[in-house]
Amino acid sequence: MFRALFRFSTLALLVLSAHAARYPSFGTLQTTNSSGVMNVVINNTFSSINLFDLHVQSDLANLIEILQANGTDIRVVPESPLPFYDPGLPNMTFPVALVWNITQLPQATIAVIEGRTRGFGNEFLMSCDMRFATTAPSVLLAQLETSFGLNPGAGGGMYLAHEIGRGRAFEYVLASKDIDGATAARYGWINRAFDTSAELRDYVQALAARIALFPAAGIAGAKKGINAVSRPSMDVIIEYAQDIIEVLAETPAAQALSEKFIAATHNQSICPLELNYGEELVTLFQ
Amino acid sequence: MFRALFRFSTLALLVLSAHAARYPSFGTLQTTNSSGVMNVVINNTFSSINLFDLHVQSDLANLIEILQANGTDIRVVPESPLPFYDPGLPNMTFPVALVWNITQLPQATIAVIEGRTRGFGNEFLMSCDMRFATTAPSVLLAQLETSFGLNPGAGGGMYLAHEIGRGRAFEYVLASKDIDGATAARYGWINRAFDTSAELRDYVQALAARIALFPAAGIAGAKKGINAVSRPSMDVIIEYAQDIIEVLAETPAAQALSEKFIAATHNQSICPLELNYGEELVTLFQ
Amino acid sequence: MFRALFRFSTLALLVLSAHAARYPSFGTLQTTNSSGVMNVVINNTFSSINLFDLHVQSDLANLIEILQANGTDIRVVPESPLPFYDPGLPNMTFPVALVWNITQLPQATIAVIEGRTRGFGNEFLMSCDMRFATTAPSVLLAQLETSFGLNPGAGGGMYLAHEIGRGRAFEYVLASKDIDGATAARYGWINRAFDTSAELRDYVQALAARIALFPAAGIAGAKKGINAVSRPSMDVIIEYAQDIIEVLAETPAAQALSEKFIAATHNQSICPLELNYGEELVTLFQ
């Protein structure tokens, strides 16, 4: 049932500053790697809308495990069944641990957004260090769980409140509104929005290349300081996000809305409701 | 003496997303209620400047008590003398508990501002989830206690620091400056400022109606997450706001300034000092 | 070796709202004092680039000690050797204690920036209550330690994350980018950027004069509330900034970069690398 929330449409490019190494291919992730920068394209061929689903999450978890070992040259990643819990984070469910682990990476992480990114997709964005997008109409971000009778279960609302303030986080989370690239940049939801895809990619590649010049220990050290004050603590995420969504997910209201959504989108295929959820969601309540 | 700080001139409209029910009338509050949205107009006929005084506070406390019970259809609210302490919050004084309780409501709260809102009035605004205003010259917000030798005693400066940053919170709080609607929106003090009153009301009514579509449990759950990271804790409010104002309120400097203010405004009636406190306050020091 | 990080080029004017008193002259600080406002010009004649070095730090520490005593009329400040530890803050190194103590001052502090301010210079800025600059090309701010294999060791990255958000703090800290005055104001790094030096100084002098009208106890009290929620705690600064830089400073990578920088700038004299570090730093890695 959670699949309905994990949409991450169209292209997403994740740039990590890491030491050069050869990484294996991951089913839904295309990785290239040079001069200390790894480019990761999320391309979920199991889904017509590039859903941020368990395939992507599982592949990301495997990639992160390698990156946690700090870029060692590993050529094979065993295919393993998806564990519900990260063994190192026994109190976090798998998706919550996944995005938490991204915040803990010693490498710098930059998310590049050229499509819709809602729900858990946006929680993934918020767990990256930086976020860049274009002003194209295809870019729409949302933390939309409230419209399903749920809450952002991995702390996405908390990260948002730090970036855009309490009042605007309440507005976008409680109303489950879409935000476009230009407004997201003005509010601080993302770092910047560029007019064209080419400008976006040039900027991010130059930024990644620059960070990759610097000693890895300094990057990791500076990240710890900023995380210490700007990221919700693990305890707060568990108590005020994860524990709450586990209760809400069992309510008849939330289950009925998710079922209605799956039916209306023909199991999350391309359709007006998927493309313009922010406007079209009212049809679910008619 | 606190009356001097509790100004909330002209119209304020508070929109809550709640289950439909019939609410009693409250002396200074006009409530209407339909489709899960309650509109509350603050209209203090005891005051020529619609002061956010003990009449309004007492009426709000009664309304909040009903809303805490989650919108049950209650037709009568007993008139009760104003308690200095909220029995559930024995360490908080009445006004501090009042705004704290607003942050705790399971319903979404939206403040609509079309007039001056300063001092405790602004602390009330900050305790709401969202804030919208117009760019009209009549809209002026301020956290002005420092100019009276006091501090924002219910945590208003702390909420402001989260919304507009530490540097700007210091500027507006320490200098007791007025801020207009457009600047307040640019800094994040409020969510947005609209050019006309009609646009403002249309936007807020649509926003409230949209939130009211969603299951109440999801709204309450999402609010808990955002509050957990963006609201000062009860202990911090008590130690670094409430306890400090209780000491400062006893100082001769603060008492002399409040008396001077009451005299200069003819007990807070319409006058230049009330209307343009940000500019006119210097006359108190001449 | 730390000298390389402590650059604070060109003029910096620090305005404090304090009770009138006659202060001694401090080697690198020119102080004037009237109507409760002390103007402090940082003018380090030991350095061609007005470096924020141990001379300035030592003079500031002496000034702060006087201000902590709340403006008592002291005419002589004994010249004392620079202590590595502040006796009152035994777990903080001298520079970390210096900027922490500035945040604790009962007086309002306003930083005026008309030149480059990077590294520890920017940590000093962040420790002041407010920051104002011009849009002139000479104004460039940076938290650049990552480019040296270090981290902002006094908490500068943490303060930044509060002012400009987590995503932009990561961008500027990890990439060690310069930011100009206009962008810094748009992001909230500084309060405002003015077109001309005259406008800047007029605004700040009027702001300081206004704050100086108000009772000192209210200023100190309001500061405590905002600090309680917007400043990293002492423990967090020690664990996630100071302790980390002490380890990083011992790494060969950081030491090699600092030596290379000192050589390339002829011991931090005026040169392209000093003036345009944000652009020129890549030459250190070629």
Domain range annotation of chain A: 2-196+223-285
**Mean pLDDT along residues B84-104:** 86
**Mean pLDDT along residues B77-90:** 60
C281: nearest CA partner in chain A: A210
According to DSSP, the residues that pair with B184 across neighbouring strands are none
The least confident of B101-115, B156-170, C28-42, C66-80 is C66-80
Q: Give A-chain residues touching C175 at CB under 8 angstroms.
A: 207, 210-211
Q: How far apart are CA B244 and CA B255, in angstroms?
A: 15
The pLDDT score that the predictor gives to residue C40 is 86
The pLDDT score that the predictor gives to residue B154 is 96
Q: Give A-chain residues touching C150 at CB under 8 angstroms.
A: 218, 221
> By a Cβ cutoff of 8 Å, what residues of chain B touch chain A?
17, 108, 129-131, 159, 162-164, 188, 190-191, 207, 210-211, 213-215, 217-219, 221-226, 228-231
Q: How far apart are CA A213 and CA B14, in angstroms?
A: 53
The pLDDT score that the predictor gives to residue B51 is 85
The pLDDT score that the predictor gives to residue B66 is 83
> By a Cβ cutoff of 8 Å, what residues of chain A touch chain C?
17, 108, 129-131, 159, 162-164, 188, 190-191, 207, 210-211, 213-215, 217-219, 221-231
* Secondary structure (3-state) at A157: helix
B203: nearest CA partner in chain A: A171
Could you tell me how many CB contacts below 8 A there are between chain A and chain C? 122
Cβ C18 vs Cβ C36: under 8 Å:
yes
According to DSSP, the residues that pair with C109 across neighbouring strands are C16
Could you tell me how many CB contacts below 8 A there are between chain B and chain C? 122
Binned at pLDDT 50, 70 and 90, residue B44 comes out as confident
Place of tokens 């926003």: B207
Q: Give A-chain residues touching C158 at CB under 8 angstroms.
A: 225-226, 228-230
**Mean pLDDT along residues B45-68:** 85
* C88, two tokens: 């009152």
Q: Give C-chain residues touching A214 at CB under 8 angstroms.
A: 146-147, 149, 174, 176
Q: How far apart are CA B155 and CA B237, in angstroms?
A: 5
C contact test, residue of A214, A219, A224, A233 with most C CBs within 10 A: A214
Name B45's Cβ contacts closer than 8 Å, sequence gap at least 6. Answer: B28
Q: How far apart are CA B95 and CA B238, in angstroms?
A: 12
* A85, two tokens: 């819990």
The pLDDT score that the predictor gives to residue C16 is 58
Do the Cβ atoms of C211 and B170 come within 8 Å?
no
Q: How far apart are CA C186 and CA C180, in angstroms?
A: 10
Q: How far apart are CA C80 and CA A260, in angstroms?
A: 75
CA-wise closest residue to C37 among C235, C207, C187: C207
- Label residues B97-125 b or e (16+ Cβ within 10 Å = b): bbbbbbbbbbbbbbbbbbbbbbbbbbbbb
H or E, element range at B278 = helix B277-280
- B190-237 per-position pLDDT tens digit: 999 999 999 999 999 999 999 999 999 999 999 999 999 999 999 999
- Touching B (3+ Cβ pairs <8 A), the chains are A, C
Q: Considering CB atoms only, which of A207, A217, A229 is closest to C158?
A: A229
Q: How far apart are CA C144 and CA B105, in angstroms?
A: 44
Q: Give B-chain residues touching C217 at CB under 8 angstroms.
A: 149, 248, 251, 253-254
Binned at pLDDT 50, 70 and 90, residue B43 comes out as confident
Q: How far apart are CA A94 and CA A58, in angstroms?
A: 9
Cβ A85 vs Cβ A94: under 8 Å:
yes
The mean pLDDT of chain B is: 85
Place of tokens 């000092």: B273
Cβ C254 vs Cβ C150: under 8 Å:
yes
CA distance C53 to chain B (A): 25
Give the end-to-end CA distance of chain A in Å, rounded to a whole number: 22
CATH class of B2-196+220-285: alpha beta
β-pairing, C85-86 with C89-93?
antiparallel
Express as a percent the part of chain B with pLDDT over 70: 86
The least confident of A131-140, A203-212, B13-22, B74-83 is B74-83
DSSP state of B26: B
Q: Where are the beta strands (DSSP E) in chain C?
A: 12-17, 29-34, 37-42, 85-86, 89-93, 108-113, 116-118, 130-134, 140-142, 179-180, 192-194
CA distance B214 to chain A (A): 5
Do the Cβ atoms of B147 and C214 come within 8 Å?
yes
CATH code given to domain C2-285? 3.90.226.10
Q: How far apart are CA A162 and CA A126, in angstroms?
A: 10
* Secondary structure (3-state) at A48: coil
Q: Considering CB atoms only, which of B129, B221, B228 is closest to A158?
A: B228
Flag residues of chain A having pLDDT under 70.
Answer: 1-25, 70-85
> By a Cβ cutoff of 8 Å, what residues of chain A touch chain B?
145-152, 155, 157-158, 160-162, 164-171, 173-177, 187, 232, 236, 239-241, 244-245, 247-248, 251, 253-254, 257, 282, 285
CA-wise closest residue to C172 among A34, A222, B263: A222
Question: How many residues does this entry show for chain C?
Answer: 286
* Secondary structure (3-state) at B78: coil
H or E, element range at C219 = helix C216-230
Q: Give C-chain residues touching A223 at CB under 8 angstroms.
A: 170, 174
Name C193's Cβ contacts closer than 8 Å, sequence gap at least 6. Answer: C132, C133, C134, C135, C139, C181, C182, C184, C185
- Touching C (3+ Cβ pairs <8 A), the chains are A, B
Q: Can you say whether the dihedral through the CA atoms of C221, C83, C116, C4 is positive or negative?
A: negative
Measured in degrees and rounded to the nearest 5, phi and psi for residue B77 equal -115, 120
* Secondary structure (3-state) at B16: strand
Measured in degrees and rounded to the nearest 5, phi and psi for residue A86 equal -75, 125
Do the Cβ atoms of C108 and B174 come within 8 Å?
yes
Do the Cβ atoms of C236 and A213 come within 8 Å?
no
Q: Considering CB atoms only, which of C149, C175, C240 is closest to A224?
A: C240
Measured in degrees and rounded to the nearest 5, phi and psi for residue C58 equal -65, -40
* Secondary structure (3-state) at C151: coil
H or E, element range at C210 = helix C197-213
Q: Considering CB atoms only, which of B131, B215, B224 is closest to A254?
A: B215
H helix and E strand count, chain B: 13, 11
Q: How far apart are CA C166 and CA C174, in angstroms?
A: 12
According to DSSP, the residues that pair with B141 across neighbouring strands are B117, B179
Q: Give A-chain residues touching C285 at CB under 8 angstroms.
A: 213
Place of tokens 């002209």: B10
The least confident of A71-85, B21-35, B249-263 is A71-85
- pLDDT tens string, chain C, 286 residues long: the values are 233 333 444 334 455 554 444 455 678 888 888 788 888 888 888 888 888 888 888 888 888 888 887 654 444 445 444 555 677 788 999 889 999 999 999 899 999 998 899 999 999 999 999 999 999 999 999 999 999 999 999 999 999 999 999 999 999 999 999 999 999 999 999 999 999 999 999 999 999 999 999 999 999 999 999 999 999 999 999 999 999 999 999 999 999 999 999 899 888 888 899 889 999 999 999 8
- C75: number of Cβ within 10 Å: 8
Cβ C237 vs Cβ C158: under 8 Å:
yes
Name A174's Cβ contacts closer than 8 Å, sequence gap at least 6. Answer: A146, B17, B108, B129, B211, B214, B219, B222, B223
The least confident of A22-36, B37-51, B103-117, C210-224 is A22-36
Do the Cβ atoms of B217 and A146 come within 8 Å?
no
CA distance C198 to chain B (A): 20
* C17, two tokens: 């709202």
Do the Cβ atoms of C151 and A215 come within 8 Å?
no
The pLDDT score that the predictor gives to residue B85 is 61
* Secondary structure (3-state) at A205: helix
Q: Give B-chain residues touching A158 at CB under 8 angstroms.
A: 225-226, 228-230
Give the end-to-end CA distance of chain B in Å, rounded to a whole number: 22
The pLDDT score that the predictor gives to residue C49 is 84
Q: Give A-chain residues touching C151 at CB under 8 angstroms.
A: 218, 221-222, 224-225
Q: How far apart are CA A130 and CA A122, in angstroms?
A: 12
Which of these CATH numbers, 3.90.550.10, 3.90.226.10, 3.40.50.2300, 3.10.129.10, describes A2-196+223-285? 3.90.226.10
CA distances from residue A243 to A150, B222, C78 in whole angstroms, order as listed: 11, 12, 59
* Secondary structure (3-state) at C145: helix
